[in-house]
Chains A and B, each alone.
Chain A
Amino acid sequence: MAIAFTPKTTAGIGKVILSARNLHKIFKTPEGNDLLVLDNINLELAEGEIVALLGRSGSGKSTLLRCLIGLVSPSSGEVRYRNRLVTGPMPGMAMVFQSFALFPWLTVLENVELGLETQGIPEGERRRRALAAIDLIGLDGFESAYPKELSGGMRQRVGFARALVTNPDVLLMDEPFSALDVLTAENLRAELLDLWEARRIPTKAILIVTHNIEEAVLMADRVLILSSNPGRIISSQQIDLPRPRDRNDPAFLATVETIYRAMTAPAAAFTGATAVAIDHDSLGMRLPVVEVARVIGLIERIDAGPDRGRSDLPALAADMQLEVDDLFPITDAAELLGFAQVREGDIILLPEGVKLARSDIQERKMIVAEHLMNRVPLVAHIRRVLANRPDHRAPRERFLVELEDFMGAEEAERTLDTVIDWGRYAELFEYDVREERLRLPENGG
């Protein structure tokens, strides 16, 4: 399937600046296995549009961005910028980083000027343009400050100034607001949109990577949704709402709802969740990395919510102040354990979930234990191995090696840690960090 997600021809949107064709990215795990991170990505970024790349953590959206800007080479396929093949960072493209990536030993002014130094712009011109960028982005008075003297919001302003000072054609942003607190992020986002709307920056197109659905809907003309493991573009949503956009506008809410649905559609869901049905016995089932306490907290919340046992996901996320990255693993886990079901942007408690929500702590542990044994092959496997050993102990390494047959080393570590956390909660087994060994509880569990 090779759908090219090209922009619809609407007014103000012009020719394609940046495009990716049949892009694949494969990482080698330390064991020498191939890990497909990006699968057949086709996209185009045209003049005059802001495109948001939306996906959960682990969907490869940051890798895709790095392929587009030329930091990372695709395993196959190609990226073109104004018809030139991208083989490394190109002049005309700028990037804003999640962690700001400022040089701590340079002042604000020096950081901003750095972007111009490579362009051979003479000293005076450089200074003038840097000061203009600093002024534009609201940093006047901080020219001689070092980044560590600044708050997070001000640091990201420096990040923007450094990117914008080169008058980039395309601005690529990697979760630029996610390291900031809610208010600062809101403020900076609005200012950037103002600059864009008023054409005060020469930038022709912006691509923003985010996991925040509201942010995507607030900013973008088009939202591309990336699935996880491997990353594939599964949906493209055009957003034609007038700007500035109002979060309480019913049309806005409807768009958010649509995107939630798209992201919770079976194909998009965490592969682990779908794997339950397809491939129940596989040890290599990927587990959502989430603590048991959060799953139970979520279930309690839904049970106690106004619609008793059913909840709208966007509303639930807003209510719990969670973003996609936080919320989806929890709902995935709830689904995986058979406590709830996600349907069209809603989450519905199953009878077992209701029972869990209304039990006391000991009963809960027993319910979770039962569900873990029935629904997570790895848990059952660990129990079996421990029970078969005369001393009921086994080193962590033993299971890790087994898991590495199915996934990369990091993924295996994460999966095993998650399972250990769940198993400990349910008192199915114990774990000694010092010896890195699992064992059955003393009383036999």
Chain B
Amino acid sequence: MRATFPDTGVLRPRLKLTPWDVVVVPLVIVVILLLTIAFQGAAQPFDAATPDLTVSLDPLNLPYYGLRTVFRMFLAVLLSLLFTFTVATLAAKSRRAEVVIIPALDFLQSLPILGFLTVTTAIFLGVFRGSLLGLEAASIFAIFTSQVWNMAFSFYHSLITVPRELREAAAVLRLSPWQKFWKLEVPFAMPSLIWNTMMSVSGGWFFVVASEVIAVVGRDNDQYLPGVGSYIALAIEQADIAAMVYAGLTLLVIILIYDQLIFRPIVAWSEKFKFEQSEAQEVAQSWMLRLLQRSGFAGSLSAIGAVIRRRIPTFPVSEAPGSRVEAQSESRAIDRVLDRVWYGFVIAVTLWAVWFLATYMFGPGLGFENGRVLAANPNVNTDLSPEIARQFATFGVTANPDQTVWLSDVCAATAGGTQVSAELAALLRHERVNVPDDLVAACAVPMAPAGKVAWSEVWECLWLGLLTTMRVVLWIGISTLVWTPIGVWIGLRPRVAQFVQPLAQFAAAFPANLLFPVAVVLIATYALPQDLFQAPLMILGAQWYILFNVIAGTVSIPNDLKEAAQVLGLRGWAWWRKLIIPAIFPAFVTGGITASGGSWNASIVSEIVSWGSTTLTLSGLGAYIAYWSTGEFNPHVGLGMLIMGLLVLAFNRLFWRRLYLLAETRFRLD
């Protein structure tokens, strides 16, 4: 007997099939096939000669479109995990990286996700020149940005809160940093990472739908990447009700499959990573996981994986001492010097970035010229119509690739508004062209360089941001008032909760943008007040987070506490005030943070909604960003994103973080 390999079966796993493999083997083959098909579709050529991408509303195409959409989602999650494992780990391990990464992530997660689409399209098209992968990458990146931040934060947080005793045990066992990462840190972070990934994917469906239609510079029409999202967009454009229903059903099936085949098994599997001292009463179950565990084929696959893993040479045996657990309290002089250099560098780069951004947005004079504030230089082609842009070109006013025509260019072509031909005058009076009545006077005022913003637009943007903020606050408040009593009612009845809880989570995943057209039709048909009926669209998808967190909070109220309240005769408002509100508060805050983040993002798609030829616009920062998302990143979209990012950051810092701290310190039930 060879001492080293006592069990040769471990090395050469024989394929032992079980009856369960009748299902598992075909399933694996089908999955591989589908991935191949999706990849082939995504890797087709795409260049200037390729006709505009479009989709067909024939429902028979939906399975394929669904596959492409799922493929994008899948890659976005992989990308998010990759980012999480590298960047969050770096932040947790290196103090110097931490001071840069954490504030950067905090700011990035406050930025409106859909704004990223304009930033990245051009970059990715350049990287994947001549291939559709460029557009695919832009879409995937948009989904990625909607998912990655909370995953990275959760992972970072887990890494820095690994219990001391386990870190000590790992150090005494002299695990190498690599072993420590995989044996201790990753498993410890697993449950929270999986939960956050689930939340991310659930929120991601919304952005999949919104990020499959992409404006490309140099093309008159938007590009429709094959997918359910573009199918929906086209259906909205053509006001096709049947197509909307088909799309809704497709998404329903996709989300269901995703949940059953992927997430439930993973959650059930991750139960073992929970860091708890006793076994939980209720353990997550998954039929899929049981199927895989009983399948001989899947078992053999994982055995092969294990053999490969064993073959990877481990680190050489070392007699060297392991690493200490405490941080060196007395830092060395060289460290202090390096610290100073590093912080100095970070500050310099930050200052340079701010200066760069400011000149990019305002132009070289930062919005001033000779001590005077420059006036706004508006885009006169308000609807960005390619037609009108072409007409302007015939008069010597060159339109930009994104169809914008700046007032300053009009002035330049007409010698300050003095030489306007009759034809041009007619064009300037066109209802879709917005030129001041007194062109000469307008041209006389010094205005911002073409495409740049002026300070007056900053104030306007802030005002729009305030409007959107007020909507977010109002509708979060209203949905709290509506869903809290309902959630508590459900949570107090375990049977109902068991049934409703998955439904609420499902509703949160279901992209609410699908329902926007219903609102458009209703508002347009009955001439309803927009502020009252269009604004709540932003909370449509986000409200469910409040509901299912309130339910979860209520379910977890200990029975003895409820009984004590009963014995004490707490009733009515006192019962709410003394028992329910404090008990569900932490869960509510968690839901509220998610819901408010979701509605900020949704404002970009919910402040401009359309159905067929009807478009309803609500003035707000979301509509502003959506309007300026012309296919190319520009100073205006930058301004909108920056202001929204700062508003969200301020809102989170001043409001949610305080509630969160309160929940952590005062209202914990353990």
Contacts and interface: CB of A to CB of B under 8 A. Distances in A.
Contacts of B319: 91
Interface in B311-331: 314-317, 319-326, 328-329
B168 A101 contact: yes
Interface in A60-103: 66, 69-73, 86-91, 93-95, 97, 99, 101-103
A191 interface: no
Nearest to A433: B666
Given A99-B165, A122-B4, A71 B324 contact: yes
Contact of A114 (B173, B321, B322): B173
A97 B314 CA distance: 27
Given A28-B329, A120-B316, A123-B4, A71 B168 contact: yes
B169 A97 contact: yes
Contacts of A148: 276-279
A102 B329 CA distance: 28
A44 B105 CA distance: 51
A118 B172 contact: no
A276 B277 CA distance: 43
Given A91-B319, A101-B165, A148-B279, A71 B5 contact: no
Contacts of B314: 117, 120
B179 A118 contact: yes
Contact of B172 (A69, A117, A146): A69
B215 to A, nearest CB: 47
B527 to A, nearest CB: 52
B431 interface: no
Interface stretch (B24-32, B106-114, B267-275, B347-355): B267-275
A118 B166 contact: no
Contacts of A106: 183
Interface residues on chain A, size class: 35 or more
B614 interface: no
Contact of A120 (B4, B173, B272, B317): B317
Most interface-central of B169, B172, B323 (chain A CB within 10 A):
B172
Interface stretch (A124-132, A194-202, A280-288): A124-132
Nearest to A152: B277
Most interface-central of A87, A91, A101 (chain B CB within 10 A):
A101
A104 B317 contact: no
B7 interface: yes
B446 interface: no
A97 B168 contact: yes
Contacts of A117: 175, 179, 314
Contacts of A103: 166, 169, 183-184, 187
Tell me what chain A mostly uses at the interface: helix, strand, loop, or mixed: loop
Nearest to B279: A148
A199 B114 CA distance: 70
Contact of A104 (B10, B275, B315): B275
Contacts of A94: 172
Interface string B529-562: 0000000000000000000000000000000000
B219 interface: no
B4 A119 contact: no
A70 B322 contact: yes
A403 B219 CA distance: 72
A186 interface: no
Contacts of B371: none
Contacts of A97: 165, 168-169
A124 B171 contact: no
Given A105-B187, A127-B6, A148-B276, A118 B176 contact: yes
A153 interface: no
Contact of A89 (B7, B275, B322): B322
Contacts of B165: 97, 99, 101
A66 B279 contact: no
B324 A73 contact: yes
Interface string B149-173: 0000000000000000110110111
Tell me what chain B mostly uses at the interface: helix, strand, loop, or mixed: loop
A66 B4 contact: no
Interface in A19-61: 27-28
A115 interface: yes
B654 interface: no
B174 interface: yes
Interface in A181-198: none
Nearest to A119: B317
A141 B276 CA distance: 23
A125 B3 contact: yes
B495 interface: no
Most interface-central of B2, B175, B190 (chain A CB within 10 A):
B175
B172 A104 contact: no
A89 B172 CA distance: 5
A14 to B, nearest CB: 22
A149 interface: yes
B332 interface: no
B306 to A, nearest CB: 10
A95 B275 contact: no
Contacts of A66: 168, 325
Contact of B321 (A89, A95, A124, A127): A89
B310 interface: yes
A90 B321 contact: yes
Contacts of A27: 329
A99 B165 CA distance: 8
Contacts of B173: 89, 114-115, 118, 162
Contacts of A146: 272
B310 A123 contact: yes
Given A70-B321, A124-B3, A114 B183 contact: yes
Contact of A72 (B4, B275, B279, B324): B324
Interface string B44-58: 000000000000000
Contacts of A69: 172
Nearest to A128: B6
A104 B274 contact: yes
Given A118-B174, A123-B4, A73 B322 contact: no
A70 B10 CA distance: 37
A71 B317 contact: no
A128 B3 CA distance: 10
B5 A123 contact: yes
B266 to A, nearest CB: 14
A118 B175 contact: yes
Most interface-central of B169, B171, B277 (chain A CB within 10 A):
B169
Interface string B167-204: 01101111110010001100100100000000000000
A125 B168 contact: no
B329 to A, nearest CB: 6
B328 A73 contact: yes
A162 B166 CA distance: 13
Contact of A86 (B3, B321, B323, B325): B321
B272 A105 contact: yes
Contacts of A102: 169
A253 B523 CA distance: 90
A69 B174 CA distance: 12
A104 B272 contact: yes
A101 B169 CA distance: 6
A127 B5 CA distance: 10
A101 B162 CA distance: 12
B662 to A, nearest CB: 12
B615 to A, nearest CB: 53
Nearest to A70: B321
B11 to A, nearest CB: 9
A204 B254 CA distance: 63
Nearest first, the 6 A-B pairs at minimum CB distance are A120-B317, A88-B321, A101-B169, A89-B322, A124-B6, A101-B165
Given A120-B317, A124-B3, A148-B278, 9 more contacts: A94-B172, A97-B169, A105-B187, A114-B173, A114-B183, A118-B179, A122-B3, A124-B7, A127-B6
Interface of B: 2-7, 10, 165-166, 168-169, 171-176, 179, 183-184, 187, 190, 272-279, 310, 314-317, 319-326, 328-329
5 contacts: A71-B325, A91-B319, A101-B165, A120-B317, A124-B3
